Amino acid sequence: MTNISKEDYLRVIYKGIEETGVVNPTMVAVHLNISNAAVTDMIKKLKREKYVSYNPYKGIQLLQKGKMEAIRLVRRHRIWETFLYQIVGIPWYEIDEEAENLEHSSSDNLIDHLERILNYPEFDPHGHPIPKKDGKIPRQKKCFPLDQIKIGNSGIIQKVNDHSKEFLFYLFNSGLLIRKKIKVIDKRNFDGSIIISVDNKELVLSDKISKNIFVEKIK
């Protein structure tokens, strides 16, 4: 048994919209690693309770109530990540899974305390904005997935979109950290991989990796 909560569904829907603009039940099922039938059930419930609107084949939308809940959860998650990283000293590539556990079991009051201790940070260690208590989301720098940067151009890593331990551990060991400057040296069209330089070293990145690294363009 998995026992995923309503909150998890809302978070996945929210992040799906944030990242790809549209979310359908299959995407939710894949992300939560459950059957489509289970998602159908839960969407019915979320719809009945006015968290989402939904039309088959047209995608799921968050209604006011659902968006608020999702943002509250995302806030809790990202504040925990920042706290675990900055105060507790958990490594960058482990904070996501710890935060995922804690986010469901912390009161708003506790989260506000953590935020104060951190001095009201605007971004988490992966570069994602931390929603304020009132739901406002800090403005992000305009940035692009690394695979869209042209040969010869440079950028600063501002965000990573995949939070799996393996992916982040790889980036960590390659020195591909937030705020690092990189330059695109070459691209291989046949497999989409990309050659970049960081810290005067050259690295070959698969398209799967480069699609999940977001950089701010610089001259």
The packing angle between helices 95-102 and 64-83, to 10°, is 130
Q: Which is nearer to DNA, 40 or 161 (CB)?
A: 40
Q: Where are the beta strands (DSSP E) in the chain?
A: 52-55, 59-62, 144-145, 154-160, 181-187, 194-198, 201-205, 213-218
Q: Quick one: which of 148, 86, 88, 172 has its CA closest to 123?
A: 86
* Contacted by 57, from DNA, a second copy, none: CB < 5 to 8 Å by type: DNA
If residue 151 lies in a helix (H) or strand (E), which one and from where to where?
Answer: none
| Out of 105, 173, 189, 200, the residue judged to bind a second copy by CB under 8 A | 105
Residue 117 interacts with a second copy (CB under 8 A): yes or no: yes
Instruction: State the residues that interact with DNA by CB under 7 A.
Output: 1-6, 24-26, 32-45, 54, 56-59
Residue 218 interacts with a second copy (CB under 8 A): yes or no: no
| Out of 33, 56, 57, 89, the residue judged to bind a second copy by CB under 8 A | 89
Q: Determine contact, residues 205/183, Cβ cutoff 8 Å.
A: no
Q: Which is nearer to DNA, 8 or 81 (CB)?
A: 8
Which segment (89-97, 161-169, 190-198, 207-215) binds a second copy by CB under 8 A?
89-97
Residue 106 interacts with a second copy (CB under 8 A): yes or no: yes
Residue recorded with tokens 């909150």 = 7
Q: Could you tell me the smallest distance in angstroms from the CB atom of residue 121 to a second copy?
A: 16
